A and B are shown apart, each in its own frame.
Chain A
Amino acid sequence: MNQNSFNPHARWDRFEPDKTGFNPDRLEERIDVLVFFKHAKIYPKSFTWNNKEYPVEKITYNWQERFGQALINYFSVLSAGQMYQISFNNSTFRWQIDKLIQ
C-alpha cells in the first residue's frame, strides 16, 4: 500500500469562527441523547436540548475525527424538518449539539 504520495491530514480549512452572540454554526452545547448500539455502531434515537426532546427521524451521515486522544463521532440528523449536527466525545463521554445545519 502506498500512502506516502498523499497525506489526507494536511489541513487547509482553518478559519476564524464568529464567536459573538448566537451562532447557529457553533452551538457546542451539552445535550442528553438516547442511543442505540448495533454492530459496533452508534445510532442516536433522540436528544434533549434546552429541556425539549428532539426525536431523530433520520441520520443522514456520520463521520469521525481524532483530537489528541479523543475520538469524536459526528452525526448529521434530521428532526422535525431541521437538520442538526451532534457529536459524541468518546474520551469525556459528552454529547453535544455542534450546530444547526441550514
Chain B
Amino acid sequence: MILHVDMDAFFASIEQTINPRLKGKPLIVGSRGNKMHTVVCAASYEAKALGIHSGIPSREAFARCPNLEFVSADQSKYIWTSEQIFQLLKGFNLPLNYASIDEFQMDLASCPNPVSLGKEVKEQIYANFNITASVGIARSWLLAKLASKLNKPSGLTEINDSNFEQVLRQTPLDKLCGMGGKNGQIFMAQGLQTCWDLYLNLPQFFEASPFFSNENPGKSNEKPKSVSHSYTLPKNEINPQVIRAWIRLLSEMVAVRLRQQNLVSATVHLWLNGPEIGNFGAQKTQQAQTSDGFEIYQRALKIMAKSGLKNPRIRLIGVTCSNLSWATYQPLLSEEIRREGLIKALDRINNRFGERAIYPAVTFLTH
C-alpha cells in the first residue's frame, strides 16, 4: 500500500498562516512582485471556488475577482516548510519518496493500520505547521495520488477492493495523473470517459509506477526523458547580455539537475517567446554528451546564432536537455579532467553552503 500526502493549496496556505488577515479570503500567490504581470503559482480554496487556479495569468484572475488578495512568492518559506514536512514524515520510519515540493509518498508494506497512520500524518502536519494536507491510500502510487485529490481539502481517502470500481467509475479520466493533457485527449477521443473505462482497457496502467517503484519502494529507477527550466521575464527584454545571462542561468540549473541524477544529455533544446518571433524552438544533437552548464549554454547560443534571429525582444526563455543517458564517460584529456574537477568542486561548495554560494558572474545580470 502507498500513502500519498498532498498539501492543500500549499503556498497559499502558508501565506494565510503567516498573515491571518488573509484567512478565508480569495488569495493568489504570484511568481513575481508585479501582481498584474505574472501567473498564478497557487490559489487558496476561496479563489479556486471562483474558478481561479494555478497557471492562469494574474490579470485574468483579477478580472474574475477584483477583490483578490495577492502575495508575491517567497520560495524560501515554501522550501523550508516542505523540507520540514519531509523530516517529520521520516520520523515514521517507512520508505519515503519526495515526489514534489508539496507531495510525499510512503510505502505502507509494513504498516498494519494505514488509515490511522494517515490520520496521524495529517494531525502532525497541522499541529506543526498549521496547514492541512490531504492523504490518499491505495495499492499503487497512481491510485494513492488520485485518492488524495478526491476529498480536498484535508481529506483522507482510501481506495481499496470494496470501493475501487465505484471510485474509478465516478472519476473523469482527466482527473488522473498524466491524463490532463494530450494523453487524456487521445484516450477520450477513443471513447474512454472515466478512469474505469481506462482500467477496463489498460489495467496495467494503474499498477505501473514511473516515479515510485512498487517493487522497490523509495527508489526511482527510470531516468527522465528530459530536464528543463524556463523563465518568463518581467517585461520584453532586448538586451542580448541579459538574455544570454538568463540562458546561462537556465543552462546551469538544468546541468545541476542532470548531475544530481547522474545523467548526461546529447540534445539541447532552446525555446524562446517574444512579440516578433512568437514561439521559437530549435534543438541540436551532438555526439558528445554533457552535463556541464557552460557547455549546454554554448550549444544553446549556437542554436540561437544559427536561427537568424536578429536581436528580437524576448519574454520567455527555456532550456531543455533530452536524449539522456547515465553518465559513464571518464574524461581522458587533461582539459576535460580539469573541467570536471572544477564542476565537482562547485557542486560541493553549493551543496555545503547553499545553492547560491558560488555561481557564474554573468548570471548576476538576471537579478
Question: Which of A75-90 touch B at CB < 8 Å?
Answer: 76, 78, 83
State the Cβ distance, B232 to closest chain A Cβ, in Å: 10
A18: chain B residues within 8 A (beta carbon): 33
1/0 per residue, CB under 8 A from A, across B240-281: the answer is: 000000000000010011001100000000000000000000
- CB atoms of B231 and A14 under 8 A apart: yes
Question: Which of B190-241 touch A at CB < 8 Å?
Answer: 211-212, 218-220, 229, 231, 234
A4 to B98, CA, bound (A): 8
1/0 per residue, CB under 8 A from B, across A5-31: the answer is: 111111111111110000001000000
Pick from A8, A16, A25 the residue with the most CB of B within 10 Å.
A8
Given A2-B219, A5-B98, A15-B32, do A68 and B353 touch, yes or no (CB 8 Å)? yes
- CB atoms of A83 and B19 under 8 A apart: yes
A13 to B355, CA, bound (A): 14
Q: Which of A6, A11, A64, A78 contacts B99 (CB 8 A)?
A: A6
Interface check A93, CB cutoff 8 A: no
Q: Which of B97, B234, B261 contacts A15 (CB 8 A)?
A: B234
**Nearest CB to that of A3 among chain B residues?**
B98
Interface check B354, CB cutoff 8 A: yes
Q: Which of B19, B21, B218, B260 contacts A7 (CB 8 A)?
A: B260
B20: chain A residues within 8 A (beta carbon): 60, 78
Interface check B76, CB cutoff 8 A: yes
Question: Which of A49-94 touch B at CB < 8 Å?
Answer: 60-61, 63-69, 74, 76, 78, 83
Interface check B326, CB cutoff 8 A: no
Pick from B32, B73, B77, B81 the residue with the most CB of A within 10 Å.
B77
- CB atoms of A76 and B19 under 8 A apart: yes
Q: Which of B73, B220, B356 contacts A67 (CB 8 A)?
A: B356
State the Cβ distance, B248 to closest chain A Cβ, in Å: 13
Given A5-B99, A8-B82, A61-B17, do A67 and B354 touch, yes or no (CB 8 Å)? yes
Interface check A1, CB cutoff 8 A: yes
A58 to B252, CA, bound (A): 41
Interface check B296, CB cutoff 8 A: no
**Nearest CB to that of B77 among chain A residues?**
A63
B367: chain A residues within 8 A (beta carbon): 14, 16
**Nearest CB to that of B33 among chain A residues?**
A15
Interface check A35, CB cutoff 8 A: no
A5 to B86, CA, bound (A): 14
State the Cβ distance, B11 to closest chain A Cβ, in Å: 10
Interface check B328, CB cutoff 8 A: no
- CB atoms of B220 and A5 under 8 A apart: yes
Instruction: Give 12 A-B pairs besides A13-B72, A64-B76 with Cβ atoms closer than 8 angstroms.
Output: A2-B218, A4-B220, A4-B261, A8-B79, A8-B101, A11-B75, A14-B367, A15-B72, A61-B18, A66-B354, A74-B76, A74-B77
